[in-house]
Every structure is written in C-alpha cells, then in structure tokens.
Structure 1
Amino acid sequence: MQHESGNERINIAIDGPAGAGKSTVAKKVAELLGYVYIDTGAMYRAVALAAYRSGVDAADGDRIARLLETLKIALYPGPDGQRVCIDGEDATAAIRSREVTLRVSQVASHERVRLRLVEMQRALAASKGAVMDGRDIGSHVLPHAELKVFLTASVKVRAARRFSESGAEQGVSLEQLEREIVERDRADAQRVHSPLVRASDAKLLDSTDLSIEQVVEQIVAWSRTKLAEAK
C-alpha cells in the first residue's frame, strides 16, 4: 500500500474498555491505511511484567517509576503482528500472561508511570500517520488526534472474546472473566490519573453486533472523510 505523505496523514485514537477489540481493530486499520500501529496497552503490560519479575508490588508506584527509568520498551512489526521487546528480550507472549492481566490496571494507575509512557507515546505519534489504542488516547495522550473513536461492546460479548482468545487455556471460566471485566471497567473509570472516558469529540462505535471487518470498515471510512476535510 502506498503510504500517504506527512501532510496527508492523520492520527487516529481508539479508546474503549477491556475486551472491546481495540488492538485487533487498530492493527487492521493501520494496515489498510499504511499507518503505524502503536499498542499502548502492550507498553503498560511490559511495565507490569517487568515489575512482576523484579518482585515489585503493583501498588508501589514509586518503585515501578524508578524501574521504568532504565527499562527499554520497543515495539516493532513482526510476520504475525506487533512484537514487544523489554530490554532486548521478545516478551510478546509473556505480557499476555494472567499474572500481568491481573496487575496491569493497578500499574497503569500510577501518575509517574503514566507520565513517562505518555511522553514515549506522543513522541511515536509526532510525525502523524499513527493509529493508537488505549483508554485515554483521545482524552489525554493525543487530544488533537484528527479522528477519535470510542469502541465498546457489551460485557458478555467482551468476556466471550477474551475467553475464546485465551480464557480456556488459562483455566478461567467465562463467568469469572465477566466479573473481572466489570471490575477492570470500574478501576479504569475511577482512577485519578487519566481515567477511561469518552472524549467529547469521539465517535461512539458499539461493536456488540458487528464483525471485526465491519468495525474496521467504519473507522477507515471515517478516516477518509477526515482526510478529505483536511485538504
């Protein structure tokens, strides 16, 4: 695909709760537009994994922030999707472990941790042509993104998606995943620093009854409209 030149590219922010399909959708949108995909959730997971391996409590924001000062997190495309490296080690699979999933929301709630990662994320998007997904991209990380989408789905559908991805092999029941998603939503919405919130100018997209392809199609159509408006 032909990449658009810098002045003909926009930044796309995709926010939403856990299990809404943000990463899957963002990757496909980036691919179709020839943009760079930046998985902010993977960055927070990388920090949570490093803290877990170092024996640092997820509640200890100061120690995690200190750990982050020397931590090198790199995102790069691989043959089967984005790879995540921590200090040179490919941690793509490790950051999806259950230990990380249960700790990442608390790790992400610390202001010093968020400030450092937001700095990194903004630098990655500075030249435009980025698709970034997370929970506070449109409201905080990229408040000037030309297209903002708030992607959601019912708790039942989000839990079912998570279960089909990895729940069964991790020995977690669908009911347990539903409870954990409700708790994650509550924690993300109530945290003091950059809570999960729909930006006032974000387009709401409920994927409960839509396929991934339909969601991607809609976001690509919106992005092309925004590009046309910008010319």
Structure 2
Amino acid sequence: MIIAIDGPAGVGKSTVARQLASRLGYLYLDTGALYRAVAWRTLRSGIDPTDSKQISALLPALSIQMLFQNGAMLVLVNDVDVTNELRTPDVTAAASIVSAIPAVREWLLPVQRQIGQRGSVVAEGRDIGTKIFPSAPIKFFLEADATVRAERRHRELVAAGHHASMEKTYQDLSGRDERDRTRAVAPLVPAADARLIDTSSLRIEDVVEQMLAAVAAVS
C-alpha cells in the first residue's frame, strides 16, 4: 500500500504524513529530504544552485540513502548523516532551485521508487501522486491560504533557532510556489484522483482523521 500526499510548503504535509504513517505502522517517506540532500551537497561543493550543468555532473558520484530507525528517518549523503542539516534556510532555498532541474528529478526518481518497494509507505512531496507513484490507490493533495502557510513556516524557523522575518518567509514561500507550479518537469498539481483537503483552519489531528477514514474506506 502506498499513500501519496502532495501539496505546497506550509500545508502540514510532513507532520501529517509522519503521524499517519505512525498510526498505520507504515514507513514515512519525505521525498523533499532527497532534494534537500542534493542541495546540501551542491552547497558543500561550492556549486551555484542555478548551475544545472555542474549539478548534473555532480550526480554520478553522489550517494543518498534513507534509513528508518525506530520510526525516524535518517538521510545519509555519501555515508554521512546530514539529517539535522537539511532544514536550514540556505538548504531550503537551494532545494527549491535544485528541484526544478530535470536531471535531478530524473536521477531521484528510481531512488524514491526503490524506497516505495520496501513495504507500505506514506510518501509526501510535490509530485508523488502524479509522477513518483501515479498508481497509488490513495492520494491526497493538501492546500492552505498562503498567509497561513507562511506563518506556519515562520514559526518553524524561529523554533529551530533561525532568524527570519515574516516578510522574508512569505516572499520565499511565494517564490517557491511559483517555481514548483510552473516548472517544466512534474509541476506541482493535484493528481486527477487525489482527495483535496484545505488545512487552513484544521488541526493536524483533524486532517489525520480524515485520511484514516479514507484509508479505511479503501481497505
């Protein structure tokens, strides 16, 4: 069983997917972490995230692994655990740019699908239901008001100890939305058979319960 959850930044995908996976006893796959891993390596290599040629040349020597331990997901880049370094503002900004590079998306496609073969999975990202697992029997697309999403992301950054103004957070999120929705390869759009959930005024628990009901109806 594969459950696909897509949507833009700040809708609560990661939190919801983790809780849903925990409730169901499934693996949790955060595909965004894979793009962040590529972005992390790009920055560590001194490569400009907009330089698609150099980034494409970096891929053959790159190894990304996802390990699942006690319900937690660890990300290793060339055998180095970088899990705690993937959500800094710099890596987040770079990941948004790197993820639009067709060569990167194609390179990560089999990596994601291989993880999906390990067992039942709750996978979240931006093209899970349309590109990565188009045959997934259950698909969700989460959306929320842009201001609400920016406020959520700003709280996350502050809680993690990062200095970011609300205005800058909103601008960054809007820019990422534009890149995700307009990129040539696998743009951010709901799958035709995805269940749409607006999380603007919903608690995480409410969203998870809606998803559990949908899973029960299909099982």
**Which range, TM-score by smaller chain?**
over 0.9
**Corresponding residue SS for 1:165:** helix
The CA deviation string for residues 181-223 of structure 1, in whole angstroms up to 9 with x for no partner, is 1111111001111110111110001111111111111111111
Q: CA RMSD in A?
A: 1.5
Partner of 1:90: 81
**Corresponding residue SS for 2:97:** helix
- Partner Cα separation in structure 2 for residue 82 and residue 127 of structure 1: 14
Bigger shift: residues 155-164 or 125-134:
125-134
Which letter does structure 1 place at the counterpart of 2:206? Q
Bigger shift: residues 138-147 or 69-78:
69-78
Contact 1:167-1:173 within 8 A present in 2 as well: no
**Corresponding residue SS for 1:123:** helix
Contact 2:142-2:198 within 8 A present in 1 as well: yes
Which letter does structure 1 place at the counterpart of 2:77? I
**Corresponding residue SS for 1:96:** coil
What is the CA distance between 1:80 and its match in structure 2? Answer: 7.8
Partner of 1:226: 218
What is the CA distance between 1:79 and its match in structure 2? Answer: 5.4
Change (3 A) 1:127 1:91: closer
- Partner Cα separation in structure 2 for residue 127 and residue 89 of structure 1: 22
Q: How does 1:1-231 map to 2 (within 5 A)?
A: 10-78=1-69, 81-167=72-158, 169-227=161-219
- Partner Cα separation in structure 1 for residue 158 and residue 170 of structure 2: 11
Q: How many residues are treated as equivalent by the alignment?
A: 218
- Partner Cα separation in structure 2 for residue 53 and residue 130 of structure 1: 31
Contact 2:144-2:199 within 8 A present in 1 as well: yes
The CA deviation string for residues 84-103 of structure 1, in whole angstroms up to 9 with x for no partner, is 21112211121111111111
The CA deviation string for residues 129-153 of structure 1, in whole angstroms up to 9 with x for no partner, is 1111111110111100000100111
Gaps of 5+ in 1: 1-9
TM-score of the superposed pair, with normalisation by structure 1? 0.90
What is the CA distance between 1:160 and its match in structure 2? Answer: 1.4
- Partner Cα separation in structure 1 for residue 118 and residue 68 of structure 2: 18
Which letter does structure 2 place at the counterpart of 1:212? I
Bigger shift: residues 174-183 or 105-114:
174-183
TM-score of the superposed pair, with normalisation by structure 2? 0.94
Contact 2:22-2:71 within 8 A present in 1 as well: no
Contact 1:62-1:112 within 8 A present in 2 as well: no
Identity of matched residues, %: 42
Partner of 1:5: none
Gaps of 5+ in 2: none
- Partner Cα separation in structure 2 for residue 81 and residue 171 of structure 1: 26
- Partner Cα separation in structure 1 for residue 81 and residue 115 of structure 2: 20
What is the CA distance between 1:66 and its match in structure 2? Answer: 2.5
- Partner Cα separation in structure 2 for residue 56 and residue 121 of structure 1: 24
The CA deviation string for residues 166-186 of structure 1, in whole angstroms up to 9 with x for no partner, is 146322111221121111111
The CA deviation string for residues 64-96 of structure 1, in whole angstroms up to 9 with x for no partner, is 123222222122234583222111221112111
- Partner Cα separation in structure 2 for residue 150 and residue 72 of structure 1: 30
